[in-house]
Amino acid sequence: MNARVTGLQRSNGGVPKLPVTTAEVTAAGLVGDRQHNLKFHGGPDRAVCLLAQEIIDDLAAQGHPIRPGSTGENITIAGLDWSTLVPGVRLTLASSVVLEITSYTAPCRKIAHSFRGGVIACLDQQKNPGRARLYARVQTPGSVRVGDQVTIT
């Protein structure tokens, strides 16, 4: 299966982030997306938040009310071995947008509504390695749409 973008999400601040079919990606992140708490979110090294579609699907199958964007991710991707994505890995989306993974995203209480019993540890890298959301910096800006191919570069 080819890796592809399955969702693009943004909001005017906070969660949930709402779906769009295409987005301009700049060094500051998706155009039209904002974060409430800039101490922990946003900035050049946290411009974009990523999550695997397979992780969302697995958690939903376990009964968690999670959906794309509900935990604050901007881009949802299917078809990658998420456990191999570590800081320093670069992804190319739509054959032109380049993202570099910078860190794992620590879950916070603001996303508790996406989990049965508010168990945010479902997305904690230390407690569940390979299942965390990822922050990325934008190396090469451009336009991305749902369905675009994703490659590890």
Average pLDDT over residues 47-53: 97
pLDDT tens digit sequence for 109-137: 889 999 999 999 999 999 999 999 999 99
Whether 94 and 25 have beta carbons less than 8 Å apart is answered as no
**CATH value of 4-152 in 3.30.930.10, 3.40.50.2300, 2.40.33.20, 3.30.70.980:** 2.40.33.20
pTM of the model: 0.93
Q: Where are the domains of the chain?
A: 4-152
